[in-house]
Amino acid sequence: MARVRLASGTGKVTINGRSLENYFPLETQRNDVLLPLNLTDMFGKLDVRVNVCGGGSTGQAGAVRHGISRALLNVDANLRPILKSAGLLTRDPRMKERKKYGQPGARRRFQYSKR
């Protein structure tokens, strides 16, 4: 889950109080986070502050990207066609499946004994 705040500034990106390069060491994750800003030509114009928690680093990068995209719509609604055509406004629906009764996990069954 990511909470994003945008403010006019110089393009500084802060995630959980740390810089973007410090929080996401992989170049692919940094590019993923900055994609909405690069597509809309807002990279050097806005400062981004993000609080993110849960999941792994790649999932957090996707959550930050989605949060930045939705925050950009609040800044300028005319950016919607650009962001939508790039697929940045679609939420990832995958979630952990619940544990079912009569088995030890979501899909795992108890071991079958023939004799």
Q: What are 49-97's pLDDT values in tens digits? A: 999 999 899 999 999 999 999 999 999 999 999 999 999 999 989 889 9
Label the pairing between strands 13-15 and 2-8: unpaired
Global pTM value: 0.85
Give how many domains the chain has, as a whole number. Answer: 1
pLDDT at 44: 87
What range defines the domain where residue 21 resides?
2-85
52-59: Cβ within 8 A, 24+ apart: 52/1, 52/2, 52/3, 52/15, 52/16, 53/1, 54/1, 57/24, 57/26, 57/29, 58/29
pLDDT at 28: 95
With a cut of 90, say whether residue 107 has pLDDT above it.
yes
**Is 26 within a domain?**
yes
pLDDT at 65: 95
Gap between the Cα atoms of 73 and 49, Å rounded: 16
**Is 94 within a domain?**
no
**Is 113 within a domain?**
no
pLDDT at 94: 87
